[in-house]
Amino acid sequence: MEEVVVGEGGIRLGQLLKLVGLIDSGGEAKWALAEGEVTVNGEVEVRRGVQLHAGDVVAGRGREIRLS
């Protein structure tokens, strides 16, 4: 499992996906989320603007990322 440090305010899902290289663009993020390819804390997430915080686990495309 990969670890990504986020600030106190957290990070939006779409930004995180681009930051870690799971997707290359906002359009690709929208498509991946609509197809149910991404989970947050074990639940399928379709909103790329959802705010994530330390302790959240994002999974997709064969990778798992824990925020700290």
Q: What is the pLDDT of residue 26?
A: 84
Tally of domains in the chain: 1
Amino acid identity at 46: V
Is the pLDDT reported for residue 7 higher than 90?
no
Q: What is the pLDDT of residue 23?
A: 93
Distance (Å, rounded) from C-alpha 6 to C-alpha 10?
A: 6
Write out the residue range of the structural domain in which residue 42 sits.
2-67
- pTM comes to 0.92
Digit-coded pLDDT (tens) for 10-59: 999 999 999 999 999 888 989 999 999 999 999 999 999 999 999 999 99
Q: What is the pLDDT of residue 6?
A: 93
Q: What is the CATH number of the domain that holds 25?
A: 3.10.290.10
